[in-house]
């Protein structure tokens, strides 16, 4: 393919000259290797210069990578277009969330055909009342490539709407306030904040979180009085410890405003009477290393979830009048076989989300001493959650359910009669029928004797003869469990013969707190070996073969992709690494980069020799070698504030210089506004999915050329 060769040559020039593909220019970027020294160890980084975000030559280099990717993928343009339309058309074009009652209004979000963003609406008194549009995000997004709206909150008197918008993707939001009676915007505009905000009960005061302008650590809580300038806002709380960040929210009871300071191993709460926003900010319990807790409110007590003397967490209660740790009383003890994931508190009952055998369960506990019970589920792999429940005083619980072959389903459960009512099931267009797909949950033996859960779905009737292309996905960090969600776009793979599998590797909390602890810090390599062993298990069980097995992960899951590409490249036909964090040691030594200081307890502090050596022993960028690698597609965004674009860019450059195979290696950079999750909008995101799927299909066909 001549065009492929042309761009390959152009890119080779770009690597040396930092040029655009067709017109070399004199180098402006300093190309001398950069030496990084720590503990007497010197690492040489040949591509450190790619950090210069605003340098025209660096930008030209990134554009050259995009041009090369476009050239290599040119034969798939029609396939990508077909996939995009298929993915887009599977989504209901006109859609409405289930209306949720709050303070006399039914709130919902709806989507209109071909529009990318939600329209926030409400109806007063009943579902038959006239619709009132309170925020049309499509109008907010006009003229912008990217639009993220968060913090949408109606004032307690129901007359005003506070909301926050980011139109770049770097998580720097601007708070705005709309008069819902007139539709006019108030003069109150608060820039450069997190978008984490709450109303005080006077409907005239907004409290919000502000971030450090460089590291983006959320560290201050301010109080804004409507009609005043942001410069007049009052600092309510400042977190001075650089490893802690702060959040603010309101209890469902609307009685208290909570301010949380948290980091990986500890948390601390303060509370403020929502009726008195200028009042005293009171402590619940001071921070203590290795003690985490969260807080809900009911009546004269706080309900507290904590790991204090309970690795899998337990539930406590404490009087609002004196909530210190010395007054905590146990409600539900910690158990070795049950992980308490969360609790939702209402006036007369609470719902505890517990995880057993890797699956969520909803436990209903009345406060009047009535019988406890669980919501029952039948499938072998599923996810359930407490959905939008705004009302504090209610006898109805709204919850959601989905599985790998069951679209998102919303139920209302009457807590008196225990009858449930189906409120909505996501409609999947294109002839989807859940009966055509089978779901399994398997246990893969890991090399150290533990068993790793794998959830998988496939078209019913496949043969286990090794002939099935398979996509294996995982994350495995921060205690974030990968749930068996229904993913409409995956149907396009299943209908093309793929098996889709999720490896619930260590580093998540699927099997309890120990599962997380066994995949972090000095045990992080368990995450990587679990994934490799899961892939080999799928091969041994006849689901697939190495020449048909693909791996995918993003962010910290991209670190996983980088690690397994070095550790077991022969196991995979292709790897897709989304916004991958791959230069572990360099990033964790740079405290100016967002997230670094807050994550020493997740990854380790490389200023300590033990952690430096261990992190260096798996850092993907530091272990690129002169050997064969699978076909690889790497994606990133110039404005990503969580994993900086230069990490995947440097990694690809080093791979391109050292790998010995002829497999395609592609880097796709979103140069326009985009965040860590890529572009915004419910349809636009499928362009990247179509690219990823086309990449895998063409690798299978053996038709991609470098």
Cβ atoms < 10 Å from Cβ of 521: 18
Contacts of residue 596, defined as CB under 8 A and 6 or more positions apart, other chains included, come to 215, 587, 588, 590
**What residues does 220 pair with on adjacent strands?**
210, 238
Output the CA torsion sign for 420, 421, 424, 429. positive
State both tokens at 274: 């929502």
Strands 574-578 and 549-554: parallel
276 a catalytic residue: no
Q: Which two tokens stand for residue 341?
A: 């994931």
Active site residue 267: no
Helix (H) or strand (E) holding 89: helix 77-89
Whether residue 398 contacts residue 72, with contact meaning beta carbons closer than 8 Å, is answered with no
* Structure token pair of residue 94: 């006109």
Residue located via tokens 């289930």: 98
Tell me if residue 601 is catalytic: no
How many angstroms separate the Cα of 283 from the Cα of each of 237, 268, 279? Answer: 12, 8, 13
Which two structure tokens, joined as six digits, stand for 550? 């693909």
The Cα 453–Cα 557 span in angstroms is 17
| Whole-number Å distance between alpha carbons of 34 and 45 | 5
DSSP 545: -
Distance of alpha carbon 142 from alpha carbon 118, whole angstroms: 13
* Terminal Cα distance for the chain, rounded: 9
Backbone angles phi, psi at 528, to 5 degrees: -70, -45
Give CA torsion, residues 249, 253, 255, 259, to 10 deg: -20
Residues 6+ apart with CB under 8 A from 658: 624, 625, 626
Selecting among 120, 489, 676, 687, the annotated active-site residue is 676
* Partner residues linked to 162 by β-bridges: 153, 177
Catalytic-labelled residue, pool 555, 565, 641, 680 = 555
Residue closest to 228 by CA, chosen among 277, 257, 190? 190
648 contacts 642 by C-beta, under 8 angstroms: no
Residue 202's CB is within 10 A of a number of other CB atoms, namely: 16
Contacts for 552 with CB less than 8 Å, ≥ 6 apart: 471, 472, 473, 561, 575, 576, 577, 578, 692
Catalytic residue among 518, 640, 680, 687: 640
CA dihedral sign, ordered 118, 644, 557, 628:
positive
Tracing tokens 């040396």 back to the chain, one arrives at 16
**Structure tokens, 239:** 């977190």
Best CA proximity match to 689, nearest among 492, 500, 459: 492
Residues linked to residue 250 through DSSP beta bridges, in sequence order: 257
Q: Please report which helix (H) or strand (E) contains residue 354, including its range.
A: strand 349-356
For β-strands 470-473 and 499-503, DSSP reports them as: parallel
Other CB atoms within a 10 A radius of the CB of residue 311 amount to 15
Active site residues: 555, 640, 676
């Amino acid at each position: 393919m001549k065009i492929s060769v042309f761009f390959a040559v152009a890119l080779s020039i770009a690597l040396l000259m930092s040029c655009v593909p067709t017109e070399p220019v004199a180098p402006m970027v300093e190309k001398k290797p950069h030496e990084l020294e720590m503990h007497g160890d010197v690492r040489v980084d040949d591509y450190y210069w790619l950090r210069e975000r605003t340098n025209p030559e660096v930008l030209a280099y990134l554009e050259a990578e995009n041009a090369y990717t476009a050239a290599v993928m040119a034969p798939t343009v029609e396939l990508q277009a077909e996939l995009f339309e298929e993915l887009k058309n599977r989504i209901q074009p006109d859609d409405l969330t289930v209306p949720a009652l709050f303070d006399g209004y039914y709130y919902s979000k709806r989507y209109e055909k071909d529009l990318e963003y939600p329209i926030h609406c409400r109806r007063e008194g009943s579902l038959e009342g006239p619709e009132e549009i309170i925020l049309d995000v499509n109008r907010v997004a006009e003229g912008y490539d990217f639009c993220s709206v968060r913090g949408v909150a109606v004032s307690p008197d129901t007359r005003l709407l506070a909301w926050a918008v980011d139109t770049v993707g770097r998580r720097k939001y601007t708070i705005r306030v709309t008069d819902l009676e007139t539709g006019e915007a108030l003069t109150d505009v608060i820039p450069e904040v997190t978008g984490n905000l709450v109303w005080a009960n006077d409907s005239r005061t907004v409290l919000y979180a502000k971030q450090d302008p460089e590291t983006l650590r959320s560290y201050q809580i301010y109080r804004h009085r409507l009609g005043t300038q942001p410069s007049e806002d009052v600092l309510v709380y400042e977190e001075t410890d650089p490893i802690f960040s702060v959040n603010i929210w309101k209890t469902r009871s609307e009685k208290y405003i909570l301010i949380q300071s948290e980091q990986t191993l500890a948390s601390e709460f303060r509370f403020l009477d929502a009726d008195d926003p200028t009042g005293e900010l009171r402590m619940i319990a001071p921070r203590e290393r290795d003690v985490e807790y969260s807080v809900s409110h009911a009546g004269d007590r706080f309900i507290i979830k904590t790991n204090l003397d309970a690795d899998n967490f337990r539930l406590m209660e404490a009087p609002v009048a004196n909530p210190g740790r010395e007054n905590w009383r146990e409600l539900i003890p910690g158990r070795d076989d049950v992980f308490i994931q969360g609790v939702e508190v209402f006036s007369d009952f609470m719902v505890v989300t517990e995880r057993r055998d890797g699956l969520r369960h909803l436990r209903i506990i009345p406060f009047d001493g009535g019988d406890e019970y669980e919501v029952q589920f039948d499938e072998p792999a599923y996810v359930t959650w407490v959905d939008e429940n705004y009302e504090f005083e209610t006898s109805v619980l709204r919850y959601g359910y989905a599985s790998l072959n069951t679209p998102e389903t919303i139920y209302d459960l009457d807590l008196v009669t225990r009858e449930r009512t189906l409120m909505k099931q996501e409609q999947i267009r294109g002839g989807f029928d859940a009966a055509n797909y089978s779901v399994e949950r398997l246990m893969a033996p890991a090399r150290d004797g533990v068993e790793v859960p794998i959830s998988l779905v496939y078209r019913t009737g496949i043969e286990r003869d090794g002939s099935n292309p398979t996509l294996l996905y995982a994350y495995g960090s921060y205690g974030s469990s990968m749930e068996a969600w229904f993913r409409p776009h995956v149907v396009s793979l299943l209908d093309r013969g793929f098996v889709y599998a999720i490896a619930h590797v260590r580093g998540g909390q699927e099997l309890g707190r120990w599962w997380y602890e066994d995949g972090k810090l000095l045990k992080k390599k368990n995450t990587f070996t679990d994934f490799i062993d899961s892939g080999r298990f799928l091969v041994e069980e006849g689901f697939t073969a190495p020449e048909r097995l693909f791996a995918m992960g993003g962010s910290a899951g991209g670190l996983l992709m980088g690690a397994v590409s070095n550790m077991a490249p022969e196991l995979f036909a292709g790897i897709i690494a989304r916004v991958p964090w791959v230069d572990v040691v360099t990033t964790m030594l740079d405290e100016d980069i967002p997230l670094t200081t807050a994550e020493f307890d997740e990854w380790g502090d490389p200023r300590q020799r033990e952690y430096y050596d261990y992190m260096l022993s798996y850092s993907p960028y530091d272990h690129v070698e002169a050997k064969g690698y699978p076909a690889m597609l790497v994606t990133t965004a110039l404005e990503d504030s969580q994993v900086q674009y230069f990490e995947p860019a440097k990694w690809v450059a080093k791979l391109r210089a050292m790998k010995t195979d002829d497999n395609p290696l592609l880097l796709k950079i979103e140069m326009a506004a985009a965040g860590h999750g890529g572009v915004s909008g419910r349809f636009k995101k499928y362009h990247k999915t179509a690219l990823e799927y086309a990449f895998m299909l063409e690798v299978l066909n053996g038709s991609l050329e470098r």
